[in-house]
Structure 1
């Protein structure tokens, strides 16, 4: 790992909502940091904003990967300022631009750092996110997260269904921030949540 003779790796770990990807991302960052390695935690559109947050209640500040962030330039700057870069942990990579996914590959190839990327495979329509598609194309390793989320019927959940005011919708913007639980007191407008469904009940639009 790091800037030595051993090359870095671009590893993409994926799952649906509720599969624990942010929890694993936080654990990886914690473990590597405790070993004294130099790294950066990144995210985009997390439910807590500029942080990586787990539904277990754990959260840590993170660099927000907005569209104007060049991740290779950021990594080079970290090397110059800190004397090296051993790893990046990147959550919510499904929302990253395709060019930013390529920049993560360049961080591995040019700097020898490891990149641990975490994200969803498909959106609420059941289609690959652009960032996910590019990550599947360029990553060295693809790892399915072992924590299985379940549909209300007990089958393995495979889809993130979007609910607006409690009803399944298949239209709208790709990026709408929500969670698997509705807020106790909606501030205004529609309430957007997500339901984890198996393929059968996603296709039928049936909720438990």
Structure 2
């Protein structure tokens, strides 16, 4: 994974607080583990849940770091993803970075409009002409919608991935783009970079 250089201090501080609290809880659990007749399954479940929630927050932090270097529209993108997730509207958003995606993507419908959360959300309303495909975002513009991405051909280690997730992986295996995915089945959001998927929390308030 490439290096990032960003601040987003409130998110970073929340992450550090969570990690410190998790560390303390794990240490207390270890100390109590040797006590006789003391079932620790509840504690292990709490640790698993806290690690999962902390991982989602970390995904949000790093997503904002990656986006902030290539667009000023981080808040608009984040707001659209949150709303799409709440409504379980499937979405696929390609954020171009240093490399163009032109030769890797089947062109869709030209949009050439400023990035706004309302426009992004309207594109992915189920049943509308542009919802089935990806939007291409370049700097602060929505370049196109209904674009088709190459699918990943890698072994996904037994995971059953939908077409959107395979498309996100497929493009990021071939270039440095970042691709955001919202699942229409679960509403969960993740982003792909360098051929790997990372879940993130959508309920984190914008700075």
Q: What TM-score do you get using the length of structure 1 for normalisation?
A: 0.25
If each structure's strand is expressed as a fraction of its own residues, which one has the higher value?
A: 1
Choose between structure 1 and 2: higher helix proportion: 2
- Structure of greater Rg: 2
Normalization by structure 2: what TM-score?
0.25
